[in-house]
Amino acid sequence: MPNQVVLHSDNGSPMKGAIMLATLQVLGVAPSFRRHAVSNDYPYSESLFKTIKYRPTYPNKAFEDLLAARQWVGMFVQWYSHEHRHSAIRFVTPAQHYEGIDVSLLEKRGVAYEAAKQQRPERWSGATRNWQPALVMHLNPDQHIQDEQKKGDLEHKIAA
């Protein structure tokens, strides 16, 4: 059925070019563009696409068939959720954060870092990394949220 599939993209010229638009029309794909001057209409998908594209296992040619694509995506999701440590959640995996395992892991890291700092203080110019569990996560936080996060990190440094 025409226009059942929608391709979301930015307003870049390659995506708005006549050849691309004609190809989408032939394929029955409806184009959808983010709003002008709004860079974060699709922040989660854009962030995920970047993570996918920079994986060493990202395929350099088309998949042989739908099953091969599904298998690759399944392996990627497994890695992303259970192996990839995310900086926004203090370098734990999403699965560890979701299951609540991150609290004990981060506490152990904090102890290890403080011990390392005590043993070799000359290697440290200030406080260790903030290993408090991330309670709120935002991909593109508003300015007031960024200010609160910086304030929390600063308070951690002062307390250390």
Identify the sign of the CA torsion 148, 149, 154, 157. positive
pLDDT per residue as tens digits for the range 74-125? 999 999 999 999 888 999 999 999 999 999 999 999 999 999 999 999 998 9
Query: Which run of H or of E encompasses 36?
Result: none
Please tell me the distance from the alpha carbon of residue 79 to that of residue 6, in angstroms, as a whole number: 27
Distance in angstroms (rounded) separating the CA atoms of residues 9 and 15: 7
User: 136: closest CA among 146, 128, 125?
Assistant: 146
Which residues of 5-146 form beta strands (DSSP E)? 5-9, 29-33
Q: What is the pLDDT of residues 3-27, one digit of tens each?
A: 578 887 777 788 889 999 999 999 8
Going from N- to C-terminal start, the domains of the chain cover: 1-41, 43-84, 88-159
